[in-house]
Amino acid sequence: MKKMKKRIVTLSSLAFLSVVTLFSSCTKDDVVDVADPKAKIQVVHASPDGPEVDILVDNQNKASLAYLSNTPYVEVAEGTRNIKVNVKGTTTTVINADVPFVANKNYSIFAIDSVSKISAIVLNDDLTTPAAGKAHVRFIHLSPNAPAVDVAVTGGSVLFPNQAFKSASAFTPVDAGTYNLEVRLAGTTTVALPLPGIALTAGKIYTVYARGFATASGATALNASIIVNN
C-alpha cells in the first residue's frame, strides 16, 4: 500500500510538472486574448436644417454625415461611450452625450429636430432574423412640427397607430411584398403623406422614418426615408 501511495504521489507530481513546463514554455505571442466585448451602433442624420456633421465616439472621428445619410453598423466597446456630433470639420459640438452600450446589442442613434434644438435619440435594434416569407419593419416619427400620426395601408388598416414626434414602434413582422402605405393624422382618415411602392423583401429588416418639416417645401419638406438594418 505504501508503494502504491508513493506511485500515485509521483505520478501526480509529474503531471503537475508537465503543466508547469507547458505554461512556462509559452511566450506572450502564444496567449490567445479574449476579444473585447462589443456593441454595434449606426448613426442617422435626421435634423432637417442641420449642417453636415462629424460623428465622434470617445473623441475618435468615425464618420461624416449629411442630412438623410447614415453610417453602417460599427463596433464600439461595451460600457458608457461618449458620442459627439460636431459641425463637419470643426470642434463645434452640437450633441454631446454619454451613452451606455451592452455587448452583442445593436443600436441606432438619430440626430433629430431643428438645428436650434438638435438632440439625439438612441434606440435598441432587435435584428432577429425574420421568419420565412416575412420582413420586419418599424416606424419612427422624426418630423419636429408634425402632429401625431397613424401609418396605415392605403385605404386600409392601421399598422402603427398614434405615433408622436420622437416615438418609435417595435420591429413588426409583415408578409414580404410591395405595399402602398399612407401617413394619416392620428385617429382620422386624413392623409398627411402617401408612401406608395414600399418594397419589403423576405428576411430583411427595415426602419421607415418620417422626417422634415410639415410646413416646409423642397429638401426639408415632410417626407419619409427607409433604412435597411441588415
- Say whether both 104 and 143 belong to one domain: no
Where is the domain boundary, 64, 99, 125? 125
Amino acid at 194: P
- Say whether both 110 and 150 belong to one domain: no
Domain-embedded: residue 59: yes
Is the entire prediction scored with pTM above 0.85?
no
Dihedral (CA of 230, 178, 121, 94) sign: positive
CATH number of the domain encompassing residue 120: 2.60.40.2890
How many domains does the chain divide into? 2
Domain-embedded: residue 150: yes
- Say whether both 200 and 221 belong to one domain: yes
- Say whether both 79 and 138 belong to one domain: no
Angle at the Cα of 62 (from 59 to 67), degrees rounded to 5?
A: 110
- How far apart, in whole angstroms, are the C-alpha atoms of residue 39 and residue 169? 22
Dihedral (CA of 96, 93, 138, 134) sign: negative
Going by C-beta distance under 8 Å and a sequence separation of 6 or more, which residues neighbour residue 133?
175, 176, 202
Interior/surface letters 98-135, b for 16+ CB within 10 angstroms, e for the rest: ebebeeeebbbbbbbbeeeebebbeeebeeeebeeebb
Q: Each residue's pLDDT tens digit in the chain (230 positions)?
A: 444 444 333 333 333 333 333 333 444 444 434 557 999 999 999 999 999 999 999 999 999 999 999 999 999 999 999 999 999 999 999 999 999 999 999 999 999 999 999 999 999 999 999 999 999 999 999 999 999 999 999 999 999 999 999 999 999 999 999 999 999 999 999 999 999 999 999 999 999 999 999 999 999 999 999 999 99
Sheet with 106-112, side-by-side order of all strands: 74-77, 38-45, 106-112, 119-124
Domain-embedded: residue 135: yes
- How far apart, in whole angstroms, are the C-alpha atoms of residue 190 and residue 10? 88
- Say whether both 100 and 174 belong to one domain: no
Domain-embedded: residue 147: yes
Domain housing 117:
36-125
Domain-embedded: residue 211: yes
